[in-house]
Amino acid sequence: MALILLENVTLDFPIPASKVRKVLPSGLGQAVGGQLATGDLGGLRVRALENLSLSLEPGDRLALIGHNGAGKSTLLRVMAGLYPPTQGRVVVQGRIVPLLNLSFGMDMEATGYDNIIVRGLFLGMSRAEIKRKLDSIAEFSELGEFLDLPMRTYSSGMRARLAFAVSTHVDADILLLDEVVATGDASFIKKANQQLADAASQAKILVLASHANKVLRGFCNKAILLEHGKVKAFGAIDEVLETYKGAPAK
């Protein structure tokens, strides 16, 4: 049973030892980012999410839409259990696989095979499971003999291939994706999208943050539009994308 339930979730980032140099003239609101306020520790705090409620069930494919700093990645991290909410309640059931940062857990000095194992273990696979899937991962990455070389010899596209290959081979109940298919050449992007579609169809819940409307339309059936950490619109993907397009970028 996969489930994500958010009730009135508010998330403040404390930023100790920080202060705003000067107060901006009123009326000159910022276009991006969360809301700034003075925190309890003397420094500032950023309100990244405010009073957000949401419930996702198996079959839901949610797109996160919004400007830079609207809270998309933060929301993904809340769902992943990485950031606990300041107020409100978060309930998550099921095996979560976050794919937030492709370069994470990659050791430049280690070989490609080593990196498959470490990343796989981090994602909650057992050694036996990784061994079983090793050929399939290697094949998908198309890195061939490079897998025996240290990762520092790889190009950034090759690194992305490997990271992506491992992450999409985990059997996930909930797949959380953050702008993941941006790197790589055209043929890889096509392949990655295919793999993602497979992984997404196996996952019971998918949450995807992206600026590429085509990608979002291809994967998602629901969407949530965030602005300064607040929900601006929630509903079917096409409606929300219309709202987003229609809204003036303030």
Partner 1 sequence: MALLRTNGSGVMDALRDVRDGWRWRELWLTLGWRDVLLRHRRSRLGPFWISLSMAFVAGCMGTLYSAIMQRPPHDYIPYLVAGFMAWNFTSALINEGKDSFVANAASMREIPVPGTVYVYRLLWRNLLVFGYNTIVYVIVLFIFQIWPFPALLLALPALVLILLNGLWAGLLLGVVNARFRDFGQLIPNVMRLVFFVTPVIWHAESATGYRSVFVHLNPMYYFIELLRAPLLGQMPGHLLWGVAFSITVVGWVITLPVYAYWRRRIAFWI
Quick one: 83 or 154, whose CB is closer to partner 1?
83
Q: Which segment (26-34, 112-120, 186-194, 227-235) binds partner 1 by CB under 8 A?
A: 112-120
Quick one: 107 or 238, whose CB is closer to partner 1?
107
Q: Which segment (61-69, 98-106, 151-159, 232-240) binds partner 1 by CB under 8 A?
A: 98-106
Q: Binding to partner 1 (CB under 8 A): which residues in 58-77? A: 77
Q: Which segment (86-94, 156-164, 185-193, 204-212) binds partner 1 by CB under 8 A?
A: 86-94
Residue 136 found at the interface with partner 1 (CB under 8 A):
no
In sign, the C-alpha dihedral spanning 58, 179, 170, 76 is: negative
Residue 80 found at the interface with partner 1 (CB under 8 A):
yes
Residue 118 found at the interface with partner 1 (CB under 8 A):
yes
The structure tokens listed for 188 are 């890889």
Residue 200 found at the interface with partner 1 (CB under 8 A):
no
> b/e per residue, 42-76, with b = 16+ CB within 10 A?
eebbbbbbbebebebeeebbbbbbbbebbbbbbbb
Q: Residue 36's closest CA among 14, 54, 58, 57? A: 14
Q: How many other CB atoms sit within 10 Å of the CB of residue 151?
A: 19
Contact predicate 151/108, CB 8 Å = yes
Residue 96 found at the interface with partner 1 (CB under 8 A):
yes
DSSP-based three-state secondary structure for 67: coil
Shortest Cβ distance from residue 90 to partner 1 (Å)?
4
Quick one: 46 or 223, whose CB is closer to partner 1?
46
CA distance 31 to 33: 7
Shortest Cβ distance from residue 14 to partner 1 (Å)?
6
Quick one: 63 or 92, whose CB is closer to partner 1?
92
Residue 36 found at the interface with partner 1 (CB under 8 A):
no
Count the residues of the shown chain that bind partner 1, applying the rule CB under 8 A: 35
What helix, strand, coil percent values describe the chain, rounded to 5? 35, 30, 35
Quick one: 83 or 188, whose CB is closer to partner 1?
83
Q: What is the DSSP string of 149-169?
A: SBGGGS-HHHHHHHHHHHHTT
Residue 33 found at the interface with partner 1 (CB under 8 A):
no
CA angle (197 as vertex; 196, 202 as ends), nearest 5: 95
Shortest Cβ distance from residue 57 to partner 1 (Å)?
15
Residue 105 found at the interface with partner 1 (CB under 8 A):
yes
CA distance 39 to 159: 39
Contact predicate 171/203, CB 8 Å = no
Residues within the interface to partner 1 (CB under 8 A): 13-14, 16, 77-78, 80-86, 89-93, 96, 98, 100-101, 104-105, 107, 109-110, 114, 117-118, 121-124, 126-127
